[in-house]
Chains A and B, each alone.
Chain A
Amino acid sequence: MSFLEAKIGILSHVDGSSQLTSQSTNVICGVTGPIEPKPRQELPNELALEIIVRPATGVSNTREKLLEDRLRGVLTPIINRNLYPRQLCQITCQILDSGESDEYFSQKELACCINSSFLALIDAGIALNSTVASIVLAIMNDAEETIVTNPTNEQLLESKSVHILALEIVNESKLIKNVLLLDSLGDFTETQLFKILEIGEKSCVDISISLRKIIQDRVEQSIIR
């Protein structure tokens, strides 16, 4: 997909990193781990996750806490945590450009955070169970109630409802295993919700394929011939 650009391994002081741009939303993500946790973070039989989201402007507040909470919900099931008992993995997402009116929306940022954390986790070599891809969709406030994938900020503001979808995809981007996150806000109907899932499914598979391509390019570059 043309609207998604990403670079992997751009930071030198962390184990894995990525920078992802989708339209005007721009997120940089760093992953450190597995490392030794503080005693209060330690989990006896699995990997502890420390997830931090930093906003583009100002300091983080409740809004970022909710972003972190949702990001944790998406990443926890895809990481093979049982491989790293009593260890810690830090995932930090710095939003460089929110690309949306952050007073009202956070969906575009969250989708970018999910996709870039996935790339950074791969770069850090953390064992994953499956892959994830995330997309924002909006239903417009027009007569046909058209569904827009990856809407711009203008479109978000004019939309009737906004949806973010993150899917767990396995088998070389061919099989959808589960819905990791669907968060819908606004005014919509059941039929529209199923339509959203249907369209979102296709876009997520597209994104998953382009994420794989990015990883593949990166791996090819790093092989010494």
Chain B
Amino acid sequence: MSDGTVEIIPITFPYELEAHITPDISLQKHLSLGLRPDLRKPEEFRSVNSVNNLVSRYSDNEKFSSTTTNNILGSNVLKCGNTTILTTITGSIVEENQTTDEDDLLHTLEEESIEKERQRKQIYKYLPVYPQVEIQRGQKFRGPSLEDMTTSYKLYENILHSGIINKEALRIKCGVRINCVNEQGKEELKIIYPDENNLSSTDLQNVQFPEKKRWSYILYAKIVVLGCTGPAFDHCWNSLIYALQSTRLPRAFIDERGVNLKMNIRTHGRSVTIRETYDLLCDSTKSIKLNINDSAIGFSSNFGILSMDPVLSMDDDEDDEKIKQNVEAPNAILLADLDTSMEEENIRSTMCIIRNDSESLKHVNLSGGDAKISLEILKKALLLSKLRSKDLSAVGSSKN
């Protein structure tokens, strides 16, 4: 000290503390060693486990099946790393000719020309599911958070635009419940479906199927994310796809007397015929598999892009010239399947890709908040997502 020099001792923090104080630097330090905070390689995905139909009505599980009486039509539990996603599909019934304004229009105008028009319009052929996402991050429950809402809407938008569920797939082929006399001469209730093969001709003659009315199922998905430590959309999407693949729709029927119930009403001197709306009942034993467009199914993967800090990523023995080069053209690095809050909060350039394992892409979202998304990086991500999609579809098919 006497000669006027000051000795500077660099402060070092233990790892946990540094990760807390300066997460951005800590992340850079990890990556400069070629590892991520959760010790994965940059382009390594987490492994996924999935189980279908544990709690649903149509469970394969012996233990539940005989006694289950709930309204869950399909379900999936997906575990990706430490994150668990529970998806359950429920449904309801809607009478079609009163669903939307468009449909009202359809009936007042000439039906054929409109129908032709609709044929061309891709989007009208498909139906969405209505998802409700709950991402549990330990916040007190005050209704859905912003993240819950945007994730829900993204899922809705993607199911609709991917064309996974055709309108036809949810249309109800309605059966009729009739009173008939069986062989022993006893009266019993019997449900007859128009598309069943084993119908006797007498049955068909006696039964009048409702023709004027059309009903459809509406599907809802409830998705709960437990132990969420990173972006949740991908896992919600994949879990939702698995759940839809395992969903079964109950057969529905109407009582015989409800088929042609009409009432004549006179109002203001005009005679109007009103058809009584009759609620459909669901058959508790018979069900059919939900028919989804397999070709439209894609699986989702996410990526982050981070530009490496040139000073932190250099080796000690690099000369000044090289450092200068690095500073001028920072190196961007692609990280697959973001996890941990350190990555989620510090990586602002992200990609989300939904695709199948061949050429078809269903959804791409790029958001360049920070590092530049170059074409090379995009190509690399597209390739990785293709491989990931192959793996994920294998996970789904092996469990079914």
Contacts and interface: CB of A to CB of B under 8 A. Distances in A.
A94 interface: no
A190 B382 contact: yes
B365 A186 contact: no
A66 B360 contact: no
Contacts of A157: 121-124
Interface in A119-174: 141, 157-162, 168
B215 to A, nearest CB: 21
Contact of B146 (A63, A65, A73, A187): A65
A186 B161 CA distance: 5
Interface string A42-77: 000000000000000000001101100100010011
B369 A77 contact: yes
B366 A181 contact: yes
Instruction: Name the interface size band of chain B.
Output: 35 or more
Contact of A182 (B156, B362, B365): B365
A168 B373 CA distance: 11
A98 to B, nearest CB: 15
Contacts of A63: 153
Most buried by B among A69, A177, A194: A69
A199 interface: no
A145 B152 CA distance: 31
B276 interface: no
A196 B365 CA distance: 13
B150 A184 contact: no
Contact of A158 (B122, B158, B348, B362): B122
Interface in B347-361: 348-349, 359-361
B104 to A, nearest CB: 15
B368 interface: yes
Contact of B367 (A73, A177, A193): A73
Contact of B163 (A168, A178, A187, A194): A187
B327 interface: no
A16 to B, nearest CB: 23
B368 A168 contact: yes
A190 B359 contact: yes
Interface residues of A, number: 35
Given A65-B153, A186-B362, A180 B123 contact: no
B122 A65 contact: no
B384 interface: no
A210 B158 CA distance: 33
A136 B356 CA distance: 24
B373 A65 contact: no
B160 A189 contact: no
Contacts of A104: 123, 160-161
B361 A188 contact: yes
A161 to B, nearest CB: 8
A159 B366 CA distance: 21
A179 interface: yes
Contacts of B369: 73, 76-77, 180
Contacts of B324: none
B348 to A, nearest CB: 7
B354 to A, nearest CB: 9
Given A179-B373, A190-B359, A69 B146 contact: yes
B160 A187 contact: no
B363 interface: yes
Contacts of A186: 122, 161-162, 362
A181 B361 contact: no
B361 A66 contact: no
Interface in B81-104: none
A168 B348 CA distance: 15
A183 interface: yes
Contact of A66 (B121, B149, B370): B149
Nearest to B148: A62
Which of B146, B361, B368 has the most A CB atoms < 10 Å from its CB?
B368
A182 B124 CA distance: 24
Interface in B286-301: 296
A185 interface: yes
3 nearest A-B pairs in the assembled complex, by CB-CB distance:
A185-B161, A182-B366, A178-B368
20 contacts: A63-B153, A66-B150, A66-B157, A77-B348, A104-B123, A141-B120, A141-B122, A157-B122, A161-B161, A168-B368, A180-B369, A182-B366, A183-B365, A184-B363, A184-B364, A185-B161, A185-B363, A190-B379, A190-B382, A193-B382
Interface of A: 62-63, 65-66, 69, 73, 76-77, 101, 104, 141, 157-162, 168, 177-190, 193-194, 197
